Amino acid sequence: MRIKVRGMSCNHCVMAVRKALEATPGVERVVEVSLERGEAVVEGRPDLDAVVAAIEREGYRAEVVEA
C-alpha cells in the first residue's frame, strides 16, 4: 500500500509517521517512509481509513494512492 503524506519536513516527522503506521492493526511491515517523496509504503491488510487516521492523528495529511 502506498500513502501520500503531506506536511513532513524533517526526520522527526518521518519517525512519527513510521511509529503511527507500525501501531496500526493490519500493518505487517512499514517498508519505507520517504521525506523526499512525501510518501509511505506498508505491507499487510490494514483498514484504509485506519491508516489515514493514524497519520492524521500525528498532524499530517494522508491519502492512500495505491491499495
Tell me the per-residue pLDDT of 9-61, one tens digit each, with 9 for 90 and over: 999 999 999 999 999 999 999 999 999 999 999 999 999 999 999 999 999 99
Residues in the chain: 67
Residue 30: strand pairing partners: 42
Query: Which residue matches cell numbers 495505491?
Result: 66
pLDDT at 67 over 90: no
Domain boundaries, the chain: 2-66
Which CATH code of 3.40.50.920, 1.10.10.60, 3.40.50.11540, 3.30.70.100 fits the domain covering 2-66? 3.30.70.100
